[in-house]
Amino acid sequence: MVREYRHLIYKICHSYCNNPADHRDLEQDILVQLWIAMPRYNGSVQLSTWIYRIALNTAISFYRKENKRHNIDHDVFVSLVTNEYDTETDRQIRMLYGFIAQLNDLDKALMLLYLEDLRYKDIADILGITESNVATKVNRIKNRLKDFFHNR
């Protein structure tokens, strides 16, 4: 299971941690939480949905705990947005992740899942909200994103 879904775990760790040591710590925390929760997995949702939910919840808790402990406001996407690129597309990608980094925890998770091309139903299952709530939030975030890019 870990080998099959390692890319999901890696992506979440990379999105919520900006240094390699924290990334490894978060990855281990997620694996421990998956191990603990595995006996309760009942197949009512897809395994990937279940893994996403546990990984995101663990990452959000880890991120909050680390920020409190260090008493600093990390840009969780710093490793994605600080690389120097030459093309306009790469600049826009950095701006997109900079925008996402400013969102609250739920909206950040929602947009990461949306950028994974997951269906609204799957996003709703992972985040524990309704499909209509996902659609509404995505639409609102897209409008904010348009304003963000327009003002740059």
Give residue 71's pLDDT: 39
Q: How far apart are CA 80 and CA 122, in angstroms?
A: 25
Give residue 21's pLDDT: 85
Give residue 109's pLDDT: 86
82: exposed, middle or buried (Cβ count in 10 Å: 0-12, 13-18, 19+) = exposed
Q: How far apart are the first and last CA of the chain?
A: 43
pTM summary value = 0.59
Give residue 80's pLDDT: 43
Give residue 37's pLDDT: 93
Give residue 133's pLDDT: 96
Question: Are residues 130 and 140 in contact, defined by beta-carbon separation less than 8 angstroms?
Answer: no
**What single letter denotes the amino acid at residue 78?**
V
93: exposed, middle or buried (Cβ count in 10 Å: 0-12, 13-18, 19+) = middle
> How many angstroms separate the most distant Cα atoms in the chain?
49
Nearest one of 46, 49, 52, 48 to 16, comparing CA atoms: 52
Q: What is the DSSP letter of 76?
A: T
For residue range 57-89, list pLDDT tens digits in order.
898 888 777 655 543 334 444 444 444 444 666
pLDDT in tens, the chain (152 residues): 888 988 888 888 877 777 788 888 999 999 999 999 999 999 888 888 889 888 988 988 887 776 555 433 344 444 444 444 446 666 777 788 788 878 888 898 898 888 877 889 988 988 889 999 999 999 999 999 888 888 77
Nearest one of 6, 15, 27, 42 to 105, comparing CA atoms: 15
Give residue 89's pLDDT: 63
